[in-house]
């Protein structure tokens, strides 16, 4: 396996003239040809713009429109889709920042549970997670230093954790979602993958226009975990807390553990109700969908609106309560998944530990660096305040450094 490609190092080479956008694209194609991991569904190359990432190869999840290529969404229903005529808004923003899309990465069927063919470069024979599996694997394999994903439940955080790379789920609504084939308007968020949190900070600055944030001073964190995590993950969280405290962080226990299960339970209700309406065309062809997606859409279609509205009320009250809890803290620290990547490629793992934070639409970073006794990646997640990605990335850079000292 090729090591992940440092975005920061590539940008430095491009700025200094030690390489060119054309050479960077050629390098990406060479890396993809050497070890595909079935992470890609199509390729493209368009000239770069002179933004801060000018010439950086970019992977684009195949539910996001990229002009000139079809958006197939990992589904037989889109097998004959015509090429998109315009970029999604988020792709235009990345082009403005100078990134160069070089192809579409594998997604699960309509970003739900039916997996694609993608393997996990960091854990051969184990799932790369879903639904942004191709993007996570492409970064983990070193094909590209930057790839786009999306998250409705755990589709960015979980594959980052399983593949041992960093990810950022952006605050919901921070950028438009036109040109993205979504599932749930109240839950769908943009995301991205890089090798490290340091690279995330560089990419976020280029995308948002905000100054790049340096590592913060020792943060104040609230730690939350689940009784359902694997023993290895439980040990990893304990180790992380010890390392962070030794480095100077204040780490306190999350004071209202009942809040998280309530949000976790509300999330799939909102998702099912909205998915049935967002994907009503596909619902009409449910017999051609995977059993999990067909069941989601049928469940949502039959759901009483009162049940959906009750779930939204839980989310709204949960947001108020969480704002009270996190006052005076920089982030919530939690396991990013129940454990390391499950064996096999027939399933993508459980997104349960992302559901509560995704229901709230908050920015989330997956921090790599920990592993279990078998050497498989174990990810942590940091949950920040809405529309304050820069502060969260500063905290994430400090945590990443403390875990790898």
Average pLDDT (170-177) is 98
- The pLDDT-based confidence of 404 (bands split at 50, 70, 90) is confident
pLDDT of residue 292: 97
For 9-23, write each residue's pLDDT tens digit.
999 999 999 999 999
Q: For residues 381 and 367, what is the distance between their CA atoms, to the nearest angstrom? A: 6
pLDDT of residue 44: 79
- The pLDDT-based confidence of 35 (bands split at 50, 70, 90) is confident
Q: For residues 70 and 317, what is the distance between their CA atoms, to the nearest angstrom? A: 41
Contacts 24+ apart (CB under 8 A), 280-288: 282/75, 282/77, 282/110, 285/77, 288/76, 288/77
Percent of the chain with pLDDT over 90: 96
Per-residue pLDDT for 52 more than 90? Answer: yes
For 353-386, write each residue's pLDDT tens digit.
999 999 999 999 999 999 999 999 999 999 999 9
Average pLDDT (37-45) is 88
Residue tagged 């054309």 (tokens): 22
Average pLDDT (66-89) is 97
Segments of 133-186 assigned E as strands: 146-151, 166-169
Largest CA distance in the chain: 60
* Cβ neighbourhood burial of 45 (10 Å; 0-12, 13-18, 19+): middle
Annotated catalytic sites, by residue?
Answer: 61, 131, 155
For 185-218, write each residue's pLDDT tens digit.
999 999 999 999 999 999 999 999 999 999 999 9
Task: Supply the mean pLDDT for the chain.
Answer: 96
pLDDT of residue 49: 76
pLDDT of residue 1: 62
For 240-285, write each residue's pLDDT tens digit.
999 999 999 999 999 998 999 999 999 999 999 999 999 999 999 9
């Amino acid at each position: 396996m090729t090591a992940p490609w440092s975005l920061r190092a590539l940008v430095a080479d491009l700025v200094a003239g030690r390489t060119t956008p054309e050479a960077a694209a050629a390098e990406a194609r060479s890396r993809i040809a050497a070890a595909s991991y079935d992470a890609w569904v199509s390729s493209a190359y368009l000239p770069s713009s002179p933004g801060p990432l000018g010439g950086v190869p970019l992977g684009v999840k195949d539910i996001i429109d990229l002009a000139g290529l079809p958006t197939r969404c990992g589904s037989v229903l889109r097998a004959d889709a015509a090429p998109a005529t315009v970029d999604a808004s988020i792709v235009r923003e990345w082009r403005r920042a100078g990134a160069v899309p070089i192809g579409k990465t594998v997604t699960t069927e309509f970003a739900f549970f039916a997996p694609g063919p993608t393997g996990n470069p960091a854990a051969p024979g184990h799932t790369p997670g879903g639904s942004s599996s191709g993007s996570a694997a492409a970064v983990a394999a070193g094909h590209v230093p930057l790839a786009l994903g999306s998250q409705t439940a755990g589709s960015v955080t979980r594959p980052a954790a399983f593949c041992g790379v960093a990810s950022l789920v952006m605050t919901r609504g921070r950028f438009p979602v036109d040109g993205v084939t979504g599932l749930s308007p109240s839950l769908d968020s943009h995301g991205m993958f890089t090798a490290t949190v340091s690279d995330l900070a560089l990419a976020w600055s280029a995308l948002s226009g905000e100054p790049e944030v340096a590592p913060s001073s020792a943060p104040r964190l609230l730690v939350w975990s689940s009784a359902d995590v694997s023993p290895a993950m439980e040990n990893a969280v304990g180790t992380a807390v010890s390392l962070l405290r030794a480095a100077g962080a204040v780490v306190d226990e999350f004071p209202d553990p009942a809040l998280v299960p309530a949000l976790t339970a509300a999330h799939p209700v909102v998702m099912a109700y909205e998915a049935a309406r967002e994907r009503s065309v596909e619902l009409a062809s449910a017999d051609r969908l995977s059993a999990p997606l067909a069941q989601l859409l049928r469940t949502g279609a039959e759901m009483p609106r009162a049940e959906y509205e009750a779930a939204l009320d839980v989310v709204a009250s949960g947001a108020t309560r969480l704002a009270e809890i996190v006052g005076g803290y920089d982030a919530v620290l939690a396991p990013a998944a129940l454990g390391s990547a499950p064996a096999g490629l027939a399933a993508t793992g459980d997104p349960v530990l992302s559901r509560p934070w995704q229901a709230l639409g908050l920015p989330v970073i997956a921090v790599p660096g920990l592993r279990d006794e078998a050497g498989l990646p174990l990810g942590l997640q940091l949950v920040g305040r809405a529309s304050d990605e820069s502060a969260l990335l500063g905290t994430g850079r400090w945590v990443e450094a403390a875990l790898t000292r």
